[in-house]
Chain A
Amino acid sequence: DVKVTQSSRYLVKRTGEKVFLECVQDMDHENMFWYRQDPGLGLRLIYFSYDVKMKEKGDIPEGYSVSREKKERFSLILESASTNQTSMYLCASSSTGFIGYTFGSGTRLTVV
């Protein structure tokens, strides 16, 4: 069964902490994505990557960075966590020539 695995289901961090969210896929997909999902706002794209060491800003990149050192792994970094970054974070992957995403199970991050 193909999978996108996110390292944590729930995280609680303090304001100002550096936070790492990890995502690993085993489908040899080229494309990987980070979204956040908030009530009433839907899914919003933070960053995406079409290849190793490549990254592109999505719609709301401010306060985030990413790293893709290996094809299967895409990390989201919150440089200095703030309370407005409390959200559900979803990682997704897809093959080239989009035919649908596979999502990870999500990380619910609370910043206090």
Chain B
Amino acid sequence: RKEVEQDPGPFNVPEGATVAFNCTYSNSASQSFFWYRQDCRKEPKLLMSVYSSGNEDGRFTAQLNRASQYISLLIRDSKLSDSATYLCVVNEGRDDKIIFGKGTRLHILP
């Protein structure tokens, strides 16, 4: 079983729509979780951390479901500029072992 798994997409979504995608992780002892955004031919950049109580930042909401071992990212009122690849990142806690998902590609259509 893969350690961190994401639907690669692409998700093609009209501008203004709401889109959500999940990331599953295999290690139940994982301690912290993050979403990164990566634009084409650019480096990944931290989008938001994912807290047990959920986390909202403007149009973006991240949630953690420990029982089912997944995190989610919800984007409301999507903009053309949201087009990117979204990487799920899990800190397994053992010596800060960081696992990256392979990313979900999102295309916002005008």
Q: Cβ of A90: which chain B residues have Cβ within 8 Å of it?
A: 43-44
Q: With A31-B96, A41-B102 known to touch, is A98 a contact of B43 (CB < 8 Å)? A: no
Docked-complex contact B102 and A106, CB < 8 angstroms: no
* Chain A positions 16 through 59: 1 when the CB is less than 8 Å from some CB of chain B, otherwise 0: 00000000000000010000000011110100000000000000
Which has the most chain A C-beta neighbours within 10 Å: B43, B44, B89? B43
CB distance from A58 to the nearest CB of B (A): 10
User: Nearest A residue to B101 by beta-carbon distance?
Assistant: A42
Decide if A105 is an interface residue (CB 8 Å cutoff). Answer: yes
Q: Cβ of A102: which chain B residues have Cβ within 8 Å of it?
A: 46
Decide if B80 is an interface residue (CB 8 Å cutoff). Answer: no
Q: Cβ of B100: which chain A residues have Cβ within 8 Å of it?
A: 42-43
Complex-state Cα separation, A99 to B44, whole angstroms: 15
Docked-complex contact A104 and B43, CB < 8 angstroms: yes
Q: Cβ of A40: which chain B residues have Cβ within 8 Å of it?
A: 102
Main secondary structure of the interface of B (DSSP, over half): strand
Q: How many residues of A contact B (CB 8 A)?
A: 19
Q: Cβ of B96: which chain A residues have Cβ within 8 Å of it?
A: 31, 94, 97-98
Decide if B32 is an interface residue (CB 8 Å cutoff). Answer: yes
Q: With A31-B96, A40-B102 known to touch, is A98 a contact of B46 (CB < 8 Å)? A: no
CB distance from B106 to the nearest CB of A (A): 16
Docked-complex contact B43 and A105, CB < 8 angstroms: yes
Q: With A98-B96, A98-B98, A100-B49 known to touch, is A42 a contact of B103 (CB < 8 Å)? A: yes
Closest 8 CB pairs of A and B: A42-B102, A103-B43, A98-B96, A43-B100, A100-B46, A98-B91, A106-B43, A105-B43
A contact set with B: CB distance below 8 Å: 31, 40-43, 45, 90, 94, 97-106, 108
Question: What are 17 A-B pairs with beta-carbon distances under 8 A?
Answer: A31-B96, A41-B102, A42-B102, A42-B103, A43-B44, A97-B96, A98-B32, A98-B91, A98-B98, A100-B34, A101-B44, A101-B98, A102-B46, A104-B43, A106-B41, A106-B42, A108-B41
